[in-house]
Amino acid sequence: MTRADISTQAWLLVGMTRDLPGVLGLAGDRFTFTSHDGQLIFDAPLPEVSKVTFPWYYFGGGMKFSLGAERYRVSFVRPTNAGGTIADIPAGRRAGKLWKAALQSRA
């Protein structure tokens, strides 16, 4: 099965109050996150991504997953501490739907 390449804006959620803006990508079999300042946070083969969930309390705008022993939380909706408003929700939910379809076999 061939997967389409995906690249969307996303925020890695760190702790209770911190987030790291960047781009979450899937190109071929590589799953990546690059911060907005250009730092590559992870670059892993897609089969290494596990425990993918789209929790109901993210309302379709976020997901959780593991890479090895590391657990990650991602929001596709700009957090309010990063200037996010209610207007950001529809685009974030569209991105969440796109990722859920792409990773369905992993969820």
Contacts of 15 (CB under 8 A, 6+ apart): none
Domain ranges of the chain: 6-103
Predicted confidence (pLDDT) per residue in 67-98, tens digit:
999 999 999 999 998 889 999 999 999 999 99
Predicted confidence (pLDDT) per residue in 20-64, tens digit:
999 999 998 999 999 999 999 999 999 999 999 999 999 999 999
Give this prediction's pTM.
0.90
Fold classification of 6-103 is PH-domain like (2.30.29)
